[in-house]
A and B are shown apart, each in its own frame.
Chain A
Amino acid sequence: MSTPEFRAGQGHEVLVARDLHKSYGARPALRGLSFSLKGGSILGFLGPNGAGKTTAIRILTTIIEPSAGSFLVAGLGSDRPREIRRRIGVLPESLGFPGNMTGLEFVTFYGRLYGLSAGKARTKAQAMIQAVGLKQRGRSLIKSYSRGMRQRLGIARALINDPAVVFLDEPTLGLDPKGQQELQGLVKWIAKERNAGVVLCSHQLSEVETVCDEVVILSAGRVVTQGAVSDVIGGSESNVVRVHVPEAARSDARQALQHAPGVVSVQASDGEAGWLRIELASEASFSSNGQHVNNGILNVLIASKIPVLGLQSGGGRLQDVFLEITQGTIQ
């Protein structure tokens, strides 16, 4: 594979995957994964369990070899795994930590494995520990860390070598909402401030929707859709409006809206109390009386004396897209 000259920085492709395949015996785990990622942007990696996300991450981080296909990391071909490892940072889904080391010792150790002298590794580890918000606990034993602190520490470790590409596998798994929010901020910081390309693997669809610029959705080892998050969402359900009403009034609202102008169907939104998913007729922006279809929906609800708690229009959400194209196999 050719190794084109790599120029670091925002806007340059830092990761290119070309038709990656992987089989375990006769069982295909990945079938033709291709995408590219630019420095400073965040790519969401989605898929139901068994879709091939972890296999893809492990191939791209040189832990396993692909059965076919190739990839470039920071201009380095997949035939140079050790050099690639020097340019990537990874937070695996279930990274273990040595409980009897302090966070600072842990990150310093990894800094040394990346070739830093003892002094430089320690200085850099301190900077990374501070950057991820663990300065106050850097000298505490890791076994005293909470899950969120360990995830932060894992990110500090992943950044110790100034990687061009950072792979984060389920970084917010098991965290409370505040912890999730803080970590999402950290992920954005990695991309925007450090100009690294970030591959974020997550089951939290709202998180991907909030944080990522682009998304790749895998199902059974195949890419089922990919592109900018807004394109994927908008392109798939541009004729859907979602309305939030009190749960007790949802049934009445559904009946009332069945006959509203431009409405094709009304369904309760799965797993979301009080939300209704209203499918509109194609090109139903305006009804026959010249009123915007959203106004018509609101008028129907107001006339029925049903409180309107919220309204989302202009397409569905990533969750809807995901459920639609993966046929609800998300866990």
Chain B
Amino acid sequence: MSGNANVGSGSGSPTWWIVMRKELHELWVGGKALTLLLVYTILLGVLTWVLASNSELSLIPPKEMVYETLKAALAVGVFIGVIIGADSISGERERSTLEGLLLTPTSRRQIITGKFLAAASPWPAAFLVALPYIWLLAQGDEAFGQAVLWGAVFGTILTPAFTAMGMFVSYWCNSNRTSLFVGLGVYLFFVLPTQLPGSAQTGTAGRFLQWVNPMQAPDFFLEKILVNNRTLGELWTWIIVPAAFAVINLALIFLYAGPGLRLEAGGAGEAGGAWTRRKATAAGVFLIGALGALGPIPALALQSNQETPAMEVQAAPARTASLVMGIDMEFVTVRAGESVFYETTVTNSTTQTSPDLILAMNIINLDALGDIVDPEDWSPQRTQYQGGLAPGGSATHSWRVNAILDGDYMIYTVAIPQPAGQEATTHPVASPGIHLTVTPFTRLNPGGVLPFAIGGPVLVLIGLLYVYRRRRRGIDEGG
């Protein structure tokens, strides 16, 4: 055999592709990714069954169930990315397999690229697995399409971001245990606030903390889009932080860690690494500065927009001698169990300050034979109070109506000026009405969910066994 011949360099495949394929093989054929996916599917199945059961008991609308399931799918999908990312480099160090890679002429950055792409690969599979559950819970609601769109968007942002974060931690660790501990610690730091009740983070500072958390901002965005019918135009600023978080982490892993990958944790890399690390640091500082500058904008903007309904219509004013009452919706159709949000605006069109006002919401059943509507059952905001309005001044009030029973209704609000005394009266002013149509609640039988809850994990398990058996056929079972 002739020695010392230089090997060819034109294999046709870039090295990152070769590394990625090998990593994918280890992840998927080795069983690690499929095992994580199996656990994930079981979790989703349990969650779906619990939501379906609760839906029966407390009328959770489909939109909220879709939101909760998508939120869980994202959190667990990101979690899988963190685990695989945190193992990707320190694990190779610990298993003494990294040295073999570093001894090849492959560039360090290509190794990182291949590993990163493989580590991010479970997310698309996890998302696909989640779709049937979301579809089932949506019960034909348009929220399903929105969930698919925004789930794909945020998954594609968050999973690479947190996978890269896990890899960066792994880059700095010699021990797999340390990198998993730190990586999961960072993940929990961002995820735990999403479990706090909404009342725990109010005001400008609370809203800012939500906005600046790359896991909380998507939650807020998804809730408003899926459940509250908000629009992208109102909420686009909530995508900034997750996107910036992804850019920062990808820059760290590709510009900083990539060239510096070596046998021992962290440290300097090949020539040129210092320059790219300086660029990465500068980019990080720039992004953090940009985020700091943008931070107050959505927080303050949301103070006024917080309860703005999505279905805005041209306000139709009702005039009296002194007050004008407007409403931002003409009609709406919802299912029993869903909520309607609307706003009224009362304007003092006189040249004198108005008396204090009592605002009362009324719901009238338009079906003559229908049930009596008790607003106390339907809304937590039956009345609101408004101090005197200056000449030309106006005030906006937000209202929420929970659609309890199916039927045909008219919602309107009345502004009642306080009378000056016992022997005086005032002229109440009514807003235009909102024609509310409530369709029957679709019952989601938990028993009907069970085939999905059990079937999903079983399918993944069958896939796992198939891969395992196929693999066994391709190898010799020598001992």
Which residues of A are interface residues toward B (Cβ below 8 A)? Answer: 8-9, 14, 39, 58, 61-64, 74, 81-83, 85-88, 90, 92, 94-98, 100-102, 105, 109-118, 120-121, 127, 131, 136-137, 139-141, 144, 157, 160-164, 193-196
A167 and chain B: residue at smallest CB distance? B103
Q: Would you list which residues of chain B between 235 and 284 have a CB under 8 Å from chain A?
A: 262-263, 270
A62 and chain B: residue at smallest CB distance? B103
User: Counting chain B CB atoms within 10 Å of each CB, which of A112, A117, A120 scores highest?
Assistant: A112
A301 to chain B, nearest CB (A): 50
B8 to chain A, nearest CB (A): 5
A115 proximity list for chain B (CB < 8 A)? 7-11, 105
Check B6 for interface membership: any CB of A closer than 8 A.
Answer: yes
Establish whether residues B4 and A74, one from each chain, have CB atoms under 8 Å apart when the complex forms: yes
A109–B100 Cα distance when bound, in Å, is 11
Establish whether residues A8 and B3, one from each chain, have CB atoms under 8 Å apart when the complex forms: yes
A83–B104 Cα distance when bound, in Å, is 9
Q: Could you jot down 16 A-B contacts, CB within 8 Å?
A: A8-B5, A86-B6, A98-B95, A100-B26, A100-B31, A110-B104, A113-B19, A114-B7, A116-B8, A117-B12, A139-B474, A139-B476, A141-B475, A162-B3, A194-B4, A196-B3
A117 and chain B: residue at smallest CB distance? B11
**Besides the known contacts A8-B4, A117-B10, A193-B3, 14 further A-B residue pairs in the complex with CB atoms under 8 A apart:** A63-B102, A85-B105, A92-B99, A95-B97, A96-B95, A96-B96, A100-B25, A100-B31, A110-B100, A116-B8, A117-B11, A120-B8, A121-B11, A162-B6
Q: Which of A62, A85, A94, A162 contacts B4 (CB 8 A)?
A: A162
Check B479 for interface membership: any CB of A closer than 8 A.
Answer: yes
Q: A63-B262, A162-B4, A195-B3 are in contact. Are A113 and B475 (CB under 8 A)?
A: no
Q: Which of A9, A14, A94, A196 contacts B96 (CB 8 A)?
A: A94
Q: A87-B6, A196-B4 are in contact. Are A114 and B18 (CB under 8 A)?
A: no
B111 and chain A: residue at smallest CB distance? A113
B94 and chain A: residue at smallest CB distance? A96
Q: Mark B8-22, 1 if CB is under 8 A from A, else 0.
A: 111111010011001
Establish whether residues B7 and A116, one from each chain, have CB atoms under 8 Å apart when the complex forms: yes
B104 proximity list for chain A (CB < 8 A)? 85, 110, 113-114
Check B106 for interface membership: any CB of A closer than 8 A.
Answer: yes
Establish whether residues A161 and B7, one from each chain, have CB atoms under 8 Å apart when the complex forms: yes
User: Counting chain B CB atoms within 10 Å of each CB, which of A101, A115, A157 scores highest?
Assistant: A115
A98 proximity list for chain B (CB < 8 A)? 26, 30, 95, 97
Check B29 for interface membership: any CB of A closer than 8 A.
Answer: yes
B32 and chain A: residue at smallest CB distance? A100
A98 to chain B, nearest CB (A): 6
A78–B476 Cα distance when bound, in Å, is 42
A14–B4 Cα distance when bound, in Å, is 10
B476 proximity list for chain A (CB < 8 A)? 102, 137, 139-140
Q: Would you list which residues of chain B between 97 and 135 have a CB under 8 Å from chain A?
A: 97, 99-107
Check B478 for interface membership: any CB of A closer than 8 A.
Answer: yes
A112–B110 Cα distance when bound, in Å, is 13
A141 proximity list for chain B (CB < 8 A)? 475
Establish whether residues B18 and A39, one from each chain, have CB atoms under 8 Å apart when the complex forms: no
A94 proximity list for chain B (CB < 8 A)? 96
A111–B101 Cα distance when bound, in Å, is 12
Establish whether residues B10 and A100, one from each chain, have CB atoms under 8 Å apart when the complex forms: no
Q: A115-B10, A120-B8 are in contact. Are A139 and B475 (CB under 8 A)?
A: yes
Q: A39-B4, A162-B3 are in contact. Are A101 and B25 (CB under 8 A)?
A: yes
A97–B97 Cα distance when bound, in Å, is 6
A102 and chain B: residue at smallest CB distance? B475
A160 proximity list for chain B (CB < 8 A)? 7
Establish whether residues A113 and B8, one from each chain, have CB atoms under 8 Å apart when the complex forms: no
Establish whether residues B102 and A82, one from each chain, have CB atoms under 8 Å apart when the complex forms: no
A103–B26 Cα distance when bound, in Å, is 14
A217–B102 Cα distance when bound, in Å, is 27
User: Counting chain A CB atoms within 10 Å of each CB, which of B3, B105, B270 scores highest?
Assistant: B3
Establish whether residues B105 and A194, one from each chain, have CB atoms under 8 Å apart when the complex forms: no
A14 and chain B: residue at smallest CB distance? B4
A224–B4 Cα distance when bound, in Å, is 31
B369 proximity list for chain A (CB < 8 A)? none
Check B1 for interface membership: any CB of A closer than 8 A.
Answer: yes
A160–B3 Cα distance when bound, in Å, is 10
B264 and chain A: residue at smallest CB distance? A64
A136 proximity list for chain B (CB < 8 A)? 478
Establish whether residues A144 and B103, one from each chain, have CB atoms under 8 Å apart when the complex forms: no
User: Counting chain A CB atoms within 10 Å of each CB, which of B12, B22, B103, B476 scores highest?
Assistant: B103
Establish whether residues B12 and A113, one from each chain, have CB atoms under 8 Å apart when the complex forms: no
Check B477 for interface membership: any CB of A closer than 8 A.
Answer: yes
A88 proximity list for chain B (CB < 8 A)? 103
B95 and chain A: residue at smallest CB distance? A96
Q: A113-B106, A144-B479, A196-B4 are in contact. Are A81 and B26 (CB under 8 A)?
A: no
Establish whether residues B103 and A85, one from each chain, have CB atoms under 8 Å apart when the complex forms: yes
A139 proximity list for chain B (CB < 8 A)? 474-476
B12 proximity list for chain A (CB < 8 A)? 117
A92–B97 Cα distance when bound, in Å, is 10
B112 to chain A, nearest CB (A): 14
B107 proximity list for chain A (CB < 8 A)? 82
A92–B474 Cα distance when bound, in Å, is 29
Establish whether residues B100 and A112, one from each chain, have CB atoms under 8 Å apart when the complex forms: no
Q: A8-B4, A86-B6, A95-B96 are in contact. Are A116 and B11 (CB under 8 A)?
A: yes
B95 proximity list for chain A (CB < 8 A)? 96, 98
B269 to chain A, nearest CB (A): 10
Establish whether residues A100 and B30, one from each chain, have CB atoms under 8 Å apart when the complex forms: yes
Establish whether residues A140 and B475, one from each chain, have CB atoms under 8 Å apart when the complex forms: yes
A121–B19 Cα distance when bound, in Å, is 14
A117 to chain B, nearest CB (A): 5
A117 proximity list for chain B (CB < 8 A)? 8, 10-12
B96 proximity list for chain A (CB < 8 A)? 92, 94-96
Q: Which of B5, B18, B22, B100 contacts A162 (CB 8 A)?
A: B5
A121 proximity list for chain B (CB < 8 A)? 11
B31 and chain A: residue at smallest CB distance? A100
Establish whether residues B13 and A112, one from each chain, have CB atoms under 8 Å apart when the complex forms: yes
A121–B18 Cα distance when bound, in Å, is 12
User: Counting chain A CB atoms within 10 Å of each CB, which of B19, B270, B475 scores highest?
Assistant: B475
Establish whether residues A140 and B9, one from each chain, have CB atoms under 8 Å apart when the complex forms: no
B17 and chain A: residue at smallest CB distance? A112
B99 proximity list for chain A (CB < 8 A)? 63, 92, 95
A157 proximity list for chain B (CB < 8 A)? 100
A8 proximity list for chain B (CB < 8 A)? 3-5
B22 proximity list for chain A (CB < 8 A)? 101, 109
A157–B15 Cα distance when bound, in Å, is 17
B25 and chain A: residue at smallest CB distance? A101
A110 and chain B: residue at smallest CB distance? B104
Establish whether residues B103 and A90, one from each chain, have CB atoms under 8 Å apart when the complex forms: yes
A12 and chain B: residue at smallest CB distance? B4
